[in-house]
A and B are shown apart, each in its own frame.
Chain A
Amino acid sequence: MKKAISEFFKMVLILLAGKFKKFTMRFKKTKTMKDYMMVYYSQAKSARLTGKKVAWITSGGPVEPLIAMDVIPVYPENHGAMIGASKMGGHLCELAENMGYSADLCSYARSDISCATINGGPIGGLPRPDMLVCCNNICGTVLKWYEIQARYFNVPLFILDTPFCHTEYTEEMGRYVRAQFDEYIVFLEKACGRKFDFDKLKEVGHLSHQGQLLWQAVLDTATHKPSPMSAFDAFYHLALIVTLRGTQDVLDYYTWLAGYMKDRIARGIGAVPNEKYRLLWDNIPIWHRTRWLSEKFASHNACLVADTYTTAWCGALKYIDENNFIDSAAEAHARIYLNIGVDQMAKMVIEMIDKYDVDGFVLHSNRSCKPYSFGQLDIQKIVERERGIPCLMLEADMTDERSFSESQISTRIDAYMEIIKERKNKK
């Protein structure tokens, strides 16, 4: 059984990795991303057999306490990305629409909701959860989505409510979020039927912090010219910091990856062979078109060197005290990129523009994700005012490929690149 599952995964992951073929081929390592993900998903899928509990958790949720309790965390959003990358989003979304869910809702949510009822998608559905952990620091969608799954699977739901920090993180908020970490622990003790292991949490908290630092180190290599990696590479390698945060595997992999990138720098190898233009990406990738977009920009000698999305997994590092996981986790979870005001987001974008020294800013206006996308037009205005670089907004959806107009987007990118080139040549 286990073998069959793992064979199956191998197939799926090879399929998915095909999207990043150019990248994986260059990679020679005993344990690849594919291996890690395969082991991870087959362990999760066989939890029933091994007697482990499975929790579904949102991408920005505190996973460390779960790992400390030996619960396998599963991320519907990561699953959503896989669904998108394998171009199965449109079909699954349509099924959800037949169930009565509006086509204007987040496509991760739509595809996950329908996928759960048919065990469809690229990996035959996620393993059934024993509990659900929802942190609303990314959006209000996850609250509704997890309520739906809690009704469907009839399992306990824990909500970590992180008040939105429009302009400030107040004392009241701090007390509230901190108190919920205690409630979270009580919830886990009840769901697992045993005492919480605080020593283990310390260890996991430490690993998680290290993992985030290493992820930051990987992303930082893109400051070099030419950049050894592109945002599309980051989209691919992100999977581990999302799904295995808090484990040694993350450290092993990103230590190697950072070294690999540094080696490329030393040898002067860039992600885009003739890097002339450097761009910054905003919002979730268009999963069903990553490869096409990557090639499209590369054909203009443009490299998307960084993005606001993958940076979010190390964006709250400044609030983390690795020796005091729980107390600092409250603040770190409340103050992530999507849970702050538009002006603060713009400030972070400008910091990235300077840090990575980019020539342009490409914004994916993502129909699925309202909290990420509303405010983008203001961020664009602020960037244009403060840094004077050209911006391009592309309207699409991260997972639902049905309305994507390749020719239209292609034309827009061509026109945009002309502006970038002209501006740079003038300098």
Chain B
Amino acid sequence: MKELTQLKKVVSHPYAYIRKYKKQTGKKVVGYCCSYAPEEIIWAAGALPVRLFGTNENIHLADTHLQSYCCSLVRGILEEALDKRLDFVDGIIFPHTCDSFQRLSDIWRLNIPEQFHLDVVLPVKLDTPSAKKYMAAILEKCRKDLGKALGKDITQAMLARSVKTYNKIRSLAGKLYELRCANPQIISGTDFHAVIKAAMIMDRDQYLKILTQIVKQLQKAKPRKTRDEAKRLVLSGSVCTHPDIYGIIEDAGGVVVWDDLCTGYRYFEGQMNEKIAPLKAITARYLKRVICPAKHMELRGRGENLIRLVKQSKAQGVVFLLLKFCDPHAFDYPYLKEMLEAEKIPFMLLDMEAELPPVGQLQTRFETFIQIL
């Protein structure tokens, strides 16, 4: 599929794509690191929102700002920024999430003055009337501040257009998830991951076109001879920056049929109401979507959601991908684990340091787990 090849190229060299894109279109680029960044507003302003994933290689500059007990994601993103590898970014936007990102924002503001810097201090609890009001107020403030930074008035019409685009992308991505869940063989995990990741990097209109094509073709595709024995798994955690995982799981006899990741389904989940004021619709979605553990909604909401995902996708087990030093996820793990146990859903925990263990070792761990399913 040529569309797929195109996406894979973007994903394997995202910065080259963005540099070229900037040159060709003259558009501004706004970096972000969390799925609570109000991308719809950035895209409405005519700027390209780009999710930063950081690097695990050759970290030395970030170590002079962050101690050893900081997660590799925050460290890796700071490293790239300090090393001027993100010079194509015109501005950065930090929605409030965990303690580590909170401080990364400060460190960034003090050490990388050449980009504009925006804190969007979202509420932490999302389920009270005052929190909802505050969320609306803060996104309106974001609209104004971002407009100022980009030298543009971000109008209702611009927002409405962006909402439409995002709705389409998200509903198509949802379709893609469903197609793959029904027939995991129609697209390999690695390719699937590339499609998902490209959504956070590419020009969104261009991406929408390509995604439409891909979904169309996959809808027609006859599943290859099914490997019935492949065990169906759900991934749960924060960010999966290791595309290899999908392939390794497949080699171990499993297949990822759904996920609960912030760079996965949680990013796509939820539609915005196109009949109401666009900013209101954007706000409503951020308040409703399944939360990240750094936010508060119901006491067992994430657990219930995970169990629902497992059941809906007919998965046989859950793999927790937890980044070392990630507090919010580590605090939730025992309760999620308990809820899965009560439902007799098997799970395994993969603690991820900056570097993944050697492939062979990983594969053995997955094989051991998959064998018990």
Contact = CB atoms under 8 A, between A and B. Distances in A.
Please indicate whether A and B come from the same complex rather than being unrelated chains. Answer: yes
Interface of A: 99-102, 104-106, 109, 136, 139-141, 143-145, 147-148, 150-151, 157, 159, 161, 163-167, 170, 172-173, 175-176, 179-180, 183, 341-343, 365, 367, 370-371, 373-378, 395
B300 A151 contact: yes
B59 interface: no
Given A101-B333, A166-B119, 8 more contacts: A105-B330, A106-B327, A148-B331, A163-B121, A165-B121, A365-B67, A370-B103, A376-B67
Contacts of B125: 159, 161
B293 interface: yes
Contacts of B66: 374, 377
Contacts of B109: 166-167, 341, 343
A100 B293 contact: no
B100 A104 contact: no
A141 B123 contact: no
Given A143-B296, A377-B66, A102 B333 contact: yes
16 contacts: A105-B331, A139-B99, A141-B331, A144-B327, A145-B331, A148-B331, A150-B299, A161-B123, A163-B124, A172-B137, A173-B134, A176-B134, A367-B69, A373-B67, A374-B107, A378-B107
B153 interface: no
B130 A183 contact: yes
A77 B328 CA distance: 19
A180 B125 CA distance: 11
B133 interface: yes
Nearest to A106: B327
Interface in B105-159: 105-107, 109-111, 119, 121-125, 128, 130-131, 133-134, 137-138, 141
Contact of B96 (A106, A163, A375, A377): A163
Interface string B57-93: 0000000111111100000000000000000000000
B280 interface: no
Interface in B19-38: none
A370 B70 CA distance: 8
Given A140-B327, A147-B299, A175-B137, A378 B67 contact: no
A148 B330 CA distance: 12
Sort A-B residue pairs by CB-CB distance and give the 7 closest, nearest first.
Answer: A144-B331, A100-B334, A374-B103, A176-B134, A179-B130, A342-B106, A102-B330
B339 to A, nearest CB: 10
A170 B119 CA distance: 12
Contact of A140 (B141, B300, B328, B334): B328
A150 B300 CA distance: 11
A392 to B, nearest CB: 14
B99 A374 contact: yes
- Counting chain B CB atoms within 10 Å of each CB, which of A102, A106, A175, A378 scores highest? A102
Contacts of B300: 151
Contact of A370 (B100, B119, B331): B100
Interface string B349-370: 0000000000000000000000
A377 B65 contact: yes
Contacts, number: 150
A174 B139 CA distance: 16
A159 B125 CA distance: 8
Interface string B202-221: 00000000000000000000
Nearest to A167: B119
A141 B327 CA distance: 7
A104 B337 CA distance: 18
Contact of B335 (A148, A176, A179, A341): A148
A163 B138 CA distance: 11
A367 B137 CA distance: 35
Given A100-B337, A374-B99, A144 B293 contact: yes
Contact of A166 (B67, B70, B106, B322): B106
B53 interface: no
B187 interface: no
Given A100-B337, A175-B134, A370-B70, A163 B296 contact: no
Interface string B303-342: 0000000000000000000101101101111110100000
B79 to A, nearest CB: 14
Contact of A342 (B110, B123, B325, B334): B110
B67 A377 contact: yes
B325 to A, nearest CB: 5
B64 A377 contact: yes
Nearest to B329: A102
A183 B293 CA distance: 23
A143 B330 CA distance: 13
A161 B133 CA distance: 13
A351 B125 CA distance: 34
A101 B64 CA distance: 29
Contacts of B68: 395
A164 B121 contact: yes
Contacts of B107: 342, 374-375, 378
A143 B124 contact: yes
Nearest to A103: B330
B345 interface: no
- Counting chain B CB atoms within 10 Å of each CB, which of A367, A370, A371, A395 scores highest? A370
Nearest to A176: B134
B102 interface: yes
A144 B332 contact: yes
Contacts of B133: 175-176, 179
Given A377-B67, A378-B65, A343 B110 contact: yes
